[in-house]
């Protein structure tokens, strides 16, 4: 059994998303299994500590399953001396449509190619980061690639790895049931779950 298979077996056993990557959810579930009733310790800052205020506002809009991964990315980047903030999380369909109109029927530059219901942000499973040097926001920086690698290591999908439109600030936590689905298929299933009022990660 290789490492990927071993992690997948453990994830299945502890009841978290099976993706072969030991992110915050996996470690928390393992801790809960080994030490039932005992809270996770400060060794995992994503469990016991909060990020900066701006990031926490965005993190609070994400689904509970995604929040630890978003927070962990902030802390993991900091260990490399990279300051990031979570700038956006959940968007309603209406907010997404308003963004889509920018640069088309409304003034401004085009910032998204997704209408309402066609962005993972609309389901609370995606977030965007910004890299900062002090108080200065860096719209472009090689540091996004470093943070992207950290996010992938946490089990997140990174927009910088997309084959068509690359989106270096974008991260998302794909549900286990969508592991083998194309993005278009996953989004269709997410819309159906939202309409039916079903849990996203079940």
CA distance 156 to 97: 25
The pLDDT score that the predictor gives to residue 46 is 55
pTM value is 0.79
Interstrand relation of 157-158 and 136-138 (parallel, antiparallel or unpaired): unpaired
Radius of gyration of the chain from its Cα atoms, rounded to whole angstroms: 17
Show Cβ contacts of residue 202 under 8 Å, excluding neighbours closer than 6 positions: 177
Do residues 25 and 68 lie in contact, with contact meaning Cβ atoms separated by under 8 Å?
Answer: yes
Q: Tens digit of pLDDT for each residue in 138-157?
A: 999 999 999 999 999 999 99
The pLDDT score that the predictor gives to residue 143 is 97
Q: Tens digit of pLDDT for each residue in 13-32?
A: 767 677 766 666 665 665 45
3-class DSSP state for residue 66? coil
Dump the DSSP string for 83-143.
EEEEEE----HHHHHHHHHBTTTBSS----S--TTSSGGGGT-EEEEEEEETTEEESS-TH
CA distance 92 to 56: 18
Do residues 135 and 161 lie in contact, with contact meaning Cβ atoms separated by under 8 Å?
Answer: no
CA distance 94 to 73: 28
The pLDDT score that the predictor gives to residue 42 is 43
Judge: domain 46-196, CATH 3.30.365.10: no
CB atoms within 10 A of CB 164: 6
β-sheet bridge partners, residue 158: 171
Show Cβ contacts of residue 160 under 8 Å, excluding neighbours closer than 6 positions: 144, 145, 148, 166, 167, 168, 170
- Ranges of residues in the chain with a pLDDT under 70 are 1-7, 10-11, 14, 16, 20-48
Q: Which residue has the tokens 């978290």?
A: 16
Could you tell me the residue ranges of all domains in the chain? 1-38, 46-196
Distance of CA 136 to the CA centre of its chain: 23
Do residues 23 and 156 lie in contact, with contact meaning Cβ atoms separated by under 8 Å?
Answer: yes
């Amino acid at each position: 059994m290789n490492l990927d298979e071993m992690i997948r077996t453990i994830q299945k056993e502890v009841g978290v998303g099976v993706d072969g990557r030991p992110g915050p959810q996996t470690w928390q579930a393992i801790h809960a299994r080994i030490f039932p009733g005992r809270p996770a310790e400060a060794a995992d800052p994503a469990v016991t500590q909060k990020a900066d205020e701006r990031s926490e506002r965005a993190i609070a809009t994400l689904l509970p399953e995604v929040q630890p991964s978003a927070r962990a990315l902030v802390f993991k980047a900091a260990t490399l001396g990279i300051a990031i903030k979570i700038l956006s999380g959940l968007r309603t369909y209406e907010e997404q449509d308003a963004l889509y109109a920018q640069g088309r029927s409304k003034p401004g530059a085009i910032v998204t190619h997704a209408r309402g219901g066609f962005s993972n942000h609309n389901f609370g499973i995606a977030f965007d980061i910004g890299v900062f040097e002090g108080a200065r926001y860096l719209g472009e920086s090689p540091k996004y690639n470093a943070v992207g690698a950290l996010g992938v290591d946490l089990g997140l999908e990174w927009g910088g790895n997309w084959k068509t439109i690359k989106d270096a600030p974008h991260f998302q936590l794909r549900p286990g049931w969508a592991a083998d689905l194309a993005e278009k298929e996953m989004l269709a299933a997410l819309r159906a779950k939202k309409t039916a009022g079903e849990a996203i990660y079940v």
